[in-house]
Structure 1
């Protein structure tokens, strides 16, 4: 039994077979092999969808607001109209975001609502279905991300190779992927589009084997299939750039490698005709995607607009990105990669930083592709490190790429060629360093379980509680049928049902509240759009959420419920436990709000996790009933339901 410590040996063995074909035994018929291969590919996708659907169902925690406010809230508006209660943040009011991403979820909302209406089920079940449908769609996106990463690895390392299968296993066992992939971020869609585009990309453009007897340039686009693959790659990449303009960094880096030959070996296939084909397809496919984007955005915004330009103008030109936080230049290296890969971070780092210098004994296409992907990953992280505002999810599109680059290293570290082992294209393999492997998997299991089921679960659960209370108290108004039933039996407007005194966007919104008649209000955190970069006015600007935090009593008495009148008293107030003393003092017999007729009663509370990135969210999330609505009215609501 020989241990395989050198990753080049793993790749060499894996690439003895053609990367795109299975190796049949002598005398075996090709069609059955092809059929088995096709079935294997389909089975893998089905398995991944089932796994990610389970992932989405188990995920019951809150991560970041953009999961809802950059996807599901605009999707709700597209599906049900502006009058249905979505919270459209400033980015949507100033046309910074493409409608293509929320458009997918709006289609899911529309079809689900139509189907549930035809089934004549109660609004309660319709609400459950509407909350669930984005999870189903996102599970499909996550599964495709895993699947295309595996397929790209097979192109590089060979079908049924240990290195290719390790990419699939890394995707499944990575707790960060479990935590993020089934969330409706634009970053997760960007990752799916990017890895699919990389799979279809014609990597032979980087260089081909030199053939002394041939004087003419080798042909890359000699078949319709090769051109169609290029079209798919360009189209998917264009959509990714429309959704996330920073995705251009990936394709810009690959373009540099192609044009300069940097990191590439072999003979360049670029000639006049190849350039013509590339330019033609970029113009055609790019124009098609651009036209689709412009038309979709016109439908959402009511005017012709180009969100990527607006995105760059506001975030960079107007320096508004820093309003959401600043990080150290080493953030992605010191925190981004460790968080994104946890126990396999060393292998991911080796794959990225060693790719340009390594010399694997595999096909030239594999070597050039690995070097190009390593350069691209380094270039993107370097460029993003120059910006002030950084988030770990900004490098999420690189996660499947780095899984592919890490594959030879993790395979050589944990596997060895052994008789009677697991069959692969490079020979039967066995597992070594089992205690270390099991320890890593156990750590990943603990991290993934805690983050997906316990950490910050309260912001999701409180929405279910409020929706259930609305169904109980206002059964006749729990509907999606227009005009949305915003009035009670005596034609009076329904009360302000929920007031969120939490940090801005600490919970989902209409995508989980569902019913348009369920009126709610939350503290805002709009950036200072009216100020100039570097001005004293901008430096002194404080948003509503922080004004409440810095002077809670003053905010309640002057902004929320001023002494001269105005300001609705809600049925429920939602906040983290740190504000309870302030509320009790304000509404107490000697408080500034004593005349409001409020007697607070805690009706719901849930722990929000071991730690938080915002001290204001520490402890429990709680719901207090104000008791300003008579018991008789509550009983009448119950009677109407019965």
Structure 2
């Protein structure tokens, strides 16, 4: 006899007490349990966000928090605005969200009269907490979509939730302020609200369904007894899908795969409704995007089209790296799934080639000669058909997105992130079956090993690997805070209130103003602008500033050509780079002349020996060193992060 699910137990308890199940009480209890689970997920993800100490992708800062910082505090805040924003490649909707978060945090800091260190920590934590809400919603809607597939309260649905919670990739990535993370959450919610019960004779309103009583209950969507009617559900799905496509145009591949079969199999009435709602919802979101971008860029523009033009037509994405054609199969999917990979393979096979098998393993229909059981049996068959439809469509969506992105030379694991919840749902059935209760000792050992492996990967990736580039920003900010506090009100007349910092690192190796916070920390770093207006035939020889710095014979020729004479920083030198105050990092060099040496130099350990030889005899001394990584695929980023300061 299969194990009873939590929903079965609750219903049985009510039946024993009253003689018959009370649907309203059971539904109310179920909604409360859902809310309780979401609260737990939210607490988990907030802890996840606030304890994350490592660096992953520059886009986490430069494509969201930096433009948001400028939106919230103006150009005088000296956020670093990259070339994508100057060429209108990105929608302002995503940073606009975090700009509101920064403004709320600033108001709160002003009202509560927080001190400088607390204000800075609030500005750093606020976007993380907001992103934690989206991460919790992703976990929650992965579970809800699994319930739509495997049945409410089913053990298999809870297995999908457990996969999401225990996923190292989720712990490492879901609370970061990448557009891919918001895209993934929006996609998962939109897929949950998609009309999976179609085709049906017509789209019924929620009120008509309620009037039909128990007969209608069997025809309701498998997604659950929601207060939201079918048409509002469809509109919500389309609105969220449209926003996801505006954020990342490649998300359109997911919705083409999901919507075309629905449109093909739908009745004429349903086709009319779907096309009408796509037009209305799409127009509303595009209009919202146009107005937002008009406000941000001060011109009428449509970033998704420019994004496709620059990255595909002009092939600028290749400037940031090429990957093998098998990258997503040999690296991408294994990194996303880790120990769940074997179960995902089995889940794909079952979804694509075993349509007749009921997906739920914890709820088995009980045969009966009672004629009253016929409607229940018919309802069960309908639910199985919808469940198989969902699984098959999710599998094909994963295949379509992976295959399509494989055709693009520039590949990253995060580009596949929107399908991770689908992969967890596909993995849930074979995983729950493999570890069926009671779990044999041998399989219990396998389960324990899988959990320990996931825990080790999540811990190392989120707490150890590439943490130095985050820690150094805290060191620089806190050192600057101590200067301001020592000078009481921070008035320039009372002492040094400006810190100058130079980052001799590959471009975008650290966060920027979102972690430096104070505009009086005047910093610059090596840039890596792509060859925007250089013909394709000439791009093979193009070197950005960071490439020029590292190219053979090393950084010394670049330093001699771009930095002031070393005589200015010897024991007898007098200048210390204080004149940098409030200089935009994009305009580091003086128009005529060379840059002054900063008060702090930041670089990776791999560069230490060359700088030691070049700066020998100057007033630079090591003042901070922090562990960054045990290994790195970029040799320029190996070793510790080191800070040298001008003494005195």
- TM-score with structure 2 length normalisation? 0.84
Q: 2 CA distance for matches of 1:478 and 1:463?
A: 23
Report 1:312-461 matches (<5 A): 312-359=308-355, 360-361=357-358, 363-416=384-437, 433-461=443-471
CA distance in 1, matches of 2:348, 2:535: 40
C-alpha contact 1:14 1:158 (8 A) present in aligned 2: no
Structure 1 counterpart SS, 2:492: coil
User: Could you give the per-residue CA deviations for residues 189-240 of structure 1, whole angstroms, max 9, x where no partner exists?
Assistant: 01000000000000123x46xxxxxxxxx22344471000000000000000
Contact 1:556 1:562 in 2 (8 A): no
Instruction: State the Cα deviation string for residues 129-176 of structure 1 (Å, max 9, x = none).
Output: 000101100110100000001001111111110110001100111111
Task: Please give the alpha-carbon distance, in whole angstroms, between the structure 1 residues aligned to 2:90 and 2:518.
Answer: 25
Instruction: State the Cα distance separating 1:325 from its structure 2 match.
Output: 0.4
Q: What's the C-alpha RMSD, in Å, of the aligned pairs?
A: 2.4
Q: Is contact 2:58-2:508 (8 Å) kept?
A: yes
The yes-or-no answer on 1:45 pairing with 2:38 is yes
CA distance in 2, matches of 1:374, 1:354: 10
Which stretch shows the higher mean deviation, 177-186 or 345-354? 345-354
State the match for 1:525 in structure 2.
528
| Equivalent pair of 2:42/2:133 in contact (CA under 8 Å) | yes
CA distance in 2, matches of 1:443, 1:238: 37
Q: Counterpart of 1:396 in 2: which secondary structure?
A: helix
Match of 1:554 among 534, 557, 576: 557
Secondary structure, counterpart of 2:624 in structure 1? strand
SS of residue matched to 1:622: strand
Matches within 5 A, 1:231-380: 231-260=235-264, 268=265, 270-359=266-355, 360-361=357-358, 363-380=384-401
CA distance in 1, matches of 2:66, 2:510: 12
Distance 1:24 1:284 in 2: 45
Counterpart-to-counterpart distance in 2, 1:201 and 1:66: 30
**Counterparts of 1:505 and 1:431 in 2: how far apart (Å)?**
49
Distance 1:222 1:370 in 2: 26
Range that drifts further, 560-569 or 110-119: 560-569
Give the Cα–Cα distance (whole angstroms) in 1 for the partners of residues 547 and 107 of structure 2: 41
Matched, 1:180 2:208: no
- Do residues 33 (structure 1) and 26 (structure 2) align? yes
Which residue in 2 is equivalent to 1:580? 608
SS state of the match for residue 64, structure 2? helix
Q: Closer, same or farther in 2 for the Cα pair 1:306/1:93, shift >3 Å?
A: same
Match of 2:188 in 1: 195
Q: Find the counterpart in structure 2 of residue 600 from structure 1.
A: 620
Matches of 2:594 and 2:602, distance apart in 1? 20
Gaps of 5+ in 2: 208-228, 360-383, 567-591
Deviations 1:305-354 (A, max 9, x none): 10100100100111101000001111111111100011111112332354
Runs of 4+ residues deviating >3 angstroms: 13-17, 21-26, 220-224, 429-432, 474-479, 560-565
Please give the per-residue CA displacement for 1:86-131, whole angstroms capped at 9, x wherever unaligned: 1111001111111111111111110011111111121221111000
- From 590, 596, 614, the counterpart of 1:568: 596
SS in 1 for 2:423: helix
Alpha-carbon offset, residue 587 of structure 1? 2.2
Q: How does 1:611-622 map to 2 (within 5 A)?
A: 611-622=631-642
Secondary structure, counterpart of 2:630 in structure 1 = coil
Matched residue of 1:520: which SS? strand
Distance in 2, matches of 1:513 and 1:130, equals 10
- Shift of the 22–504 alpha-carbon distance from structure 1 to 2, 3 Å rule, reads farther
Distance of aligned partners of 1:184 and 1:477 in 2 relative to their CA distance in 1, 3 Å threshold:
farther
The residue aligned with 1:116 is: 109
Residue 215 of structure 1 is matched in structure 2 by: none
Map Cα deviations across residues 347-391 of structure 1 (whole Å, 9 max, x no partner).
123323542212222511001111111111101100000100000
Q: CA deviation at 1:304?
A: 1.1
Cα pair 1:234 1:282 within 8 Å, conserved:
yes
Residue number in structure 2 paired with 1:167:
160
1:495–1:571 CA contact under 8 A, matched in 2: no
- Distance (whole Å) between structure 2 residues aligned to residue 350 and residue 231 of structure 1: 34
CA offset digits 1:252-282 (Å, max 9, x no partner): 111232244xxxxxxx4x2222122111111
SS at match of 1:204: coil
Contact 1:478 1:517 in 2 (8 A): no
Shift, 1:22, TM fit? 10
Q: 2:202 — aligned with what?
A: 219
**Alpha-carbon contact 2:101-2:126 (below 8 Å) kept:** yes
Structure-2 change in CA distance of 1:248 and 1:339 (3 Å): same
1:164 aligns to what SS in structure 2?
Answer: helix
Separation of aligned partners in 2, 1:203 and 1:55? 33
CA–CA separation in structure 2 for the residues paired with 1:585 and 1:553 = 10
**Residue 488 (structure 1) aligns with:** 492
Using the TM superposition, name which of 522-531 and 271-280 deviates more. Answer: 271-280
- Counterpart CA distance in 1 for 2:277 and 2:462 is 42
Measure, in 2, the Cα distance between the counterparts of 1:354 and 1:578: 49
Contact persistence 2:562–2:594 (CA under 8 A): no
Q: Which residue of the other structure, out of 58, 63, 66, is the alignment partner of 1:65?
A: 58
Contact 1:314-1:320 within 8 A present in 2 as well:
yes
Q: Deviations over 1:285-313 (max 9, x none)?
A: 11111111111111211111101001001
Q: Select 2:643's aligned residue among 623, 626, 638.
A: 623
CA contact (8 A) 2:12 2:21 kept: no
Superimposed CA distance per residue, residues 397-436 of structure 1 (whole angstroms, 9 cap, x where no aligned partner): 11111111111110001113x6xxxxxxxxxx99971000
CA separation of 1:435/1:602 partners in 2, compared to 1, >3 Å: closer, same or farther? same
Cα separation, partners in 2 of 1:315 and 1:34, compared to 1, 3 Å: same
Q: How many positions carry a matched residue from both structures? A: 570
Distance 1:230 1:14 in 2: 29
Deviates further, 276-285 or 405-414:
276-285
Provide the C-alpha distance between the structure 2 equivalents of 1:226 and 1:132, rounded to a whole number of angstroms: 38
The CA distance in 1 between the partners of 2:36 and 2:442, in whole Å, is 28
